[in-house]
Structures are given as structure tokens and as C-alpha cells.
Amino acid sequence: MATIKRVSPLKPGLRGARNWATAQLRAANYSRKGFWRLALSVLGIFLFIGFIALWLGGLLPDAKRVGDNFTKDRLMSMGFVVERVDVMGEGRISEKDVLRAVGVKKGDYLFALDLKEAQARVENLSWVERAIVRRLWPDRIVVQIIERKSYALWQSEGEFYLIDREGGIITQASLADHSDIPLIVGASAPEHFEKLNAKMANYPLLKGRVDSFVRHNTDRWDIIIDNGGMRVKLPADNVEQALTRLTGLQKSRQILDRKISVIDMRLDDRITLSPATEKPA
């Protein structure tokens, strides 16, 4: 005799959903774990439907704004507001300029400040080499500043500029406060002077008498000695060798104390001297 199998009138997809729901209800009746699994599943379905509804209706930005405002109000009520801004540095930079660059004031929401943008604004200030801006919960902003160091005074086209070790110009600086640093001349002098100055440090007998350093377009330097009374023309290469020879001549013959206007050391195999001319009485 043929077996008769009852077929559900539901479509396969709906029948599967009904079977899943029935299984979840049975599990919920038998255990607390099953109940919570069912509750969380139902909650997730409703949240998903709500998200889709907000997305289709173009209301997601409004919902996010409402959530952000709610979070902000709650955190501010808990004390997460700016009470003070501490500036740590060496003191050349005006604290008012730093506070203006940070862009925060007392009573502002602590988490409203974009730390990276604030740091970039502070690092644009003249004397700032590097800055770190951070929050200290619950109510402080700390700005730590590493200031640039003056390295040389650069003369270009009749104007004078204060530069740092990397050759960058330090604006808004008082040149009168930096008269004890080297004077350099030439269009490309700022970016090349650090290398020459490091070499000169090994020759204190010469460095102590140098007034200025002149950079030429041929990638070499002249050093001006004794208030411009003598010019030493260095080679483009083997600068240390030339400085060593000059130091030896000074020790043995006091060449820098003689009436000489130019010492030309551009060639490796010879030194050319030009005598100083007497000024008419």
C-alpha cells in the first residue's frame, strides 16, 4: 500500500524559517541559555530592520548626530570639559600664540579637539621644531614644544635671516639676540653649512678667527678671516686636507698673521698667495 506524505503549503524558505523559530522557542522553554539566545536573535533582527529603515530614509546622519550629542552631554556632565591648557617649552614662543594655534578654551568639550590638527597648527609657529598635543583626563590639554635652535645668520641679497641647523628660516626672530653665531653668505649656503661647520670644529685654531663663510655656485667655500682682511679659498673636494695644511702653515709660519689678502688652496699641488695692498694714507 502506498505511503501518503503530507506536504507543507509553505514555500521552502518560509518553511525553514518556521522550523528555525519553532526550534528556538522549544530551546527557550527548556533552558535559560536558549531563552537568551532567542532574545538576542530577535533584538538583532529588529536592530537590523531599524538600520535598514534609517538608511533607506536618509536618516542615518541625523541618528548619528543625536547619538553623538547625547554622548557629549553625558560626558560633559561627568566633568570631561577643558579646565586648563598647559604649555611646556623653552619660552621663546608666546603662550598666547600657542593657545590660539591649539584652538581650545576653558569650558570646551574635552574630546572635541582633533589632536593631530592642533599639533600641525602649533608646528607651523615660527620657533617650533616639533610639538606634541595630548589630553589628560578628565579636564586638561597638554602641549609640549621642542623649539628650534638658531644655527647661523644668513646674508642673502642684502637681507639677513636667522636659520636653524637644517637651513630653515626662523621668522619673527630678533637678529640682535644672535650676534654670536656664524655668518654665512650665498644662495645655497643654508643647506650646506652644517657639513662645513662640522669639519671646522676639528680646527679650532682656524675657526676662532673666521668672521664669515661664503658659498659659491661651484660647490665650494671661502672663509673670511680677521674682519675681512683675508680670504681663504677652499677647494670643492678634500676640504679637510686643505684645512690641515692651513693649520700646519699657521703653526710653522704664522701665515694668517702676515700681510696677505688671499690664500688660494683650490688646487691640491699648490697654494697661491696674494699680498695685501696698502691703503693710501
Question: Is residue 171 very low, low, confident or very high in pLDDT (cuts 50, 70, 90)?
Answer: confident
pLDDT at residue 197, rounded to an integer: 96
pLDDT at residue 59, rounded to an integer: 46
Question: Is residue 11 very low, low, confident or very high in pLDDT (cuts 50, 70, 90)?
Answer: very low
Place of cell 694668517: 256
Is the pLDDT assigned to residue 2 strictly greater than 60?
no
Q: 134 and 176 share a domain?
A: no
CA 243 – CA 34 distance, rounded (Å): 88
Mean predicted confidence (pLDDT) in 99-106: 93
Q: Which neighbouring-strand residues pair with 81?
A: 109
Mean predicted confidence (pLDDT) in 144-162: 93
Helix segments in the chain, DSSP class H: 12-30, 32-56, 60-77, 95-102, 115-123, 189-200, 204-207, 239-253
Q: 206 and 117 share a domain?
A: no
**Domain range for 20:** 15-75
Question: Is residue 114 very low, low, confident or very high in pLDDT (cuts 50, 70, 90)?
Answer: very high
Q: 158 and 241 share a domain?
A: yes
Grid cell, residue 224, equals 673670511
Rounded to the nearest 5 percent, the helix, strand and coil shares of the chain are 45, 20, 35
Tell me how many domains the chain contains. 3
User: Mean pLDDT over all residues of the chain?
Assistant: 83
In eight-state DSSP terms, residue 227 is T
Q: 141 and 156 share a domain?
A: no
Residue 227 counted as domain residue: yes
Lowest-pLDDT choice from 36-50, 77-91, 224-238:
36-50
Lowest-pLDDT choice from 14-23, 61-70, 230-239:
14-23
What are the pLDDT digits (tens) for 22-80?
655 555 555 556 556 656 666 676 666 655 654 555 544 554 565 567 777 787 889 89
Q: 108 and 193 share a domain?
A: no
Residue 1 counted as domain residue: no
Q: 69 and 97 share a domain?
A: no
The CATH number covering residue 128 comes to: 3.10.20.310
41 residue type, one letter = S
Contacting residues for 67 by C-beta, under 8 A, at least 6 apart: none
Q: 89 and 169 share a domain?
A: no
pLDDT at residue 180, rounded to an integer: 87
CA 98 – CA 119 distance, rounded (Å): 10
Residue 109 counted as domain residue: yes
Residue 7 counted as domain residue: no
The CATH number covering residue 163 comes to: 3.40.50.11690
Kind plus residue range of the DSSP H or E element containing 54: helix 32-56
Length of the chain: 281
Q: 175 and 256 share a domain?
A: yes
Contacting residues for 197 by C-beta, under 8 A, at least 6 apart: 152, 182, 213
Q: 158 and 259 share a domain?
A: yes
pLDDT at residue 13, rounded to an integer: 46
CA 172 – CA 124 distance, rounded (Å): 13
Place of cell 653665531: 181
Q: Which residues in 58-127 belong to E strands, given as ranges?
A: 84-88
Mean predicted confidence (pLDDT) in 99-108: 93
CA 99 – CA 85 distance, rounded (Å): 8
Q: 108 and 214 share a domain?
A: no
